[in-house]
Amino acid sequence: MVHKHISETIIQLLKMLPELYAGVHLRGTDFLDESEAQAANMLVRKFISGIEEDKIFVATDSSTFLDLIRIERPHNRIYNLSGSLMQERSPIHMIDSKSLPEGLKSKVNLYAILDLALLSFARLVYVPLISHRGYSGFGRLAQFLNVTKQTRASFFGL
């Protein structure tokens, strides 16, 4: 179970989100070479257009793909938590932690946990396959917690 202050933060964030929203997890974007990135760009455009919900929480470490989703869905509410941690358009986990101010180091890990929680409470969790490397374990865990509500409640202390 996560620490009580994290559980309280999750509750506060869930109160700010609409009751029904879709969760989208886009990771592994930093492993793409230029041609893979172009293909992934087209795939994400096609994928995002197929989501029925008009309120979408996006857990991603790529400001490029977050911007793309906002462009593709200009009339929808797009929510994101980790975007504030992205520096110089680099994935948050690729940032040299030695270069981060002390308070930001712990935020990177905290935001990963919060991303996982918010994905797990979505109406549906979408995890598009955007690279030949397969699905991420993080995305699979979010989908598992989304459908196993008792495990989710126990894990997040809710």
End-to-end alpha carbon distance in the chain? 9
Q: What is the pLDDT of residues 46-55, one digit of tens each?
A: 777 888 888 9
Tally the C-alpha atoms within 13 A of residue 143's C-alpha that lie toward its C-beta. 13
Domain ranges of the chain: 4-156
101 φ, ψ to 5°?
Answer: -60, 150
- Higher-confidence residue of 42 and 127: namely 127
Beta bridge partners of 124: 22
**H/E segment holding residue 109:** helix 102-120
- Higher-confidence residue of 6 and 105: namely 6
Q: What is the pLDDT of residues 52-74, one digit of tens each?
A: 888 999 998 777 778 888 888 88
Which top CATH class is 4-156?
A: alpha beta
